Structure 1
């Protein structure tokens, strides 16, 4: 029994010799924190997976994981093992930076893991077909713009007065007390 069979990896995923070397190598180009089988299996604890488990007929199954998502999952596990606690947004920015610095061998390794993840996903959800939902609604304005428009509608006199004031000359000039510690650039210099 070869290494790939021990790990439960089918031969269809790594038909070329380079892929075979990556999978069966005792030292892959990237040291994983999570076991390969667990990493490439569809996650059971994501929001989408939990929603699908509760009611499989009302929602679609979670999408298969791509190479970056697999890298992020393993990277997050690595942070947890090291006891590092960060906000998800900060983790995502950090993972993105680290991912962009990875050599091609590591990226190819995760592309192969992506193929395995897709294969596992197809086994778990054989009828899955990705069908994005197009939104016909216009994107909402930002909160600040909406709030400003609401205030203009509710208090037009105040905003008209403010806009007239901005067109006038300033009523006061700013005087800065100068002393020897003030760093001022001479405009005539």
Structure 2
């Protein structure tokens, strides 16, 4: 009989077509909806999963460990989903949530991903209004080294990625500011299979 200790982490409840959850309330951000297509409006007004945050909480700036005078980056669909996932798992540690997040995102349905893609579009519009002078200037020292040297074939993952990931580990798990969209994490999520990334993180801890 299979051990219950190896249970797969649960995906936040996906709303059924006949769900009775109240419609999503955009409050002061309602004016942004005029920039959406009919298809986008239909999806954003009927979330395909249970949201654990309000729109205001989704769009709130991240709390930074140090004072940073620069405005934060707008959040992409993965980081908005991650905010919701973290809020839906309040009893789990940062380490547990970091371990599970890539695995869960890879198994999220297309409609769930589309919802967060549209939410990211709205967040970007809001970000452009709030920070009209903002220009994204990535720190290319760490990432350019990864981009130029990294051979993204399974046989060459371990050595180079472990070396890069080790620089972003701390006692609480991955030392990544998920709310600001850390460019190193984005690079790995974009190019690597989430299950492999999860396995690699667990192996080097």
Greater Rg over alpha carbons, structure: 1
Q: 1:39 aligns with which of 58, 72, 75?
A: 58
**Structure 1 residues 6 and 134 mapped into 2: Cα distance closer, same or farther (>3 Å)?**
closer
- Regions of 4+ moved over 6 Å: 2-5, 136-139
Q: CA deviation at 1:93?
A: 2.3
Aligned to 1:22: 43
**Number of residue pairs aligned between Structure 1 and Structure 2:** 123
Deviations 1:139-161 (A, max 9, x none): 9xx6xxxxxxxxxxxxxxxxxxx
Calculate the aligned-residue CA RMSD, in Å. 2.8
Structure with the bigger RCO (C-alpha within 8 Å, sep 6+) is 2
Query: 2:182 corresponds to which residue?
Result: none
Q: TM-score, normalised by structure 1?
A: 0.56
Please, which of 127, 133, 145 is the counterpart of residue 127 of structure 1? 133
* 1:11 partnered with 2:33: yes
User: Contact 1:41 / 1:121 at 8 angstroms: preserved in 2?
Assistant: no
**What runs of 5+ residues in structure 1 fail to find an aligned partner?**
143-189
The CA distance in 2 between the partners of 1:3 and 1:76, in whole Å, is 19
Residues 2-151 of structure 1 aligned to structure 2 (within 5 Å): 6=27, 8-9=29-30, 10-14=32-36, 16-25=37-46, 28-43=47-62, 45-47=63-65, 51-52=67-68, 56=69, 60-80=70-90, 84-86=91-93, 88-135=94-141
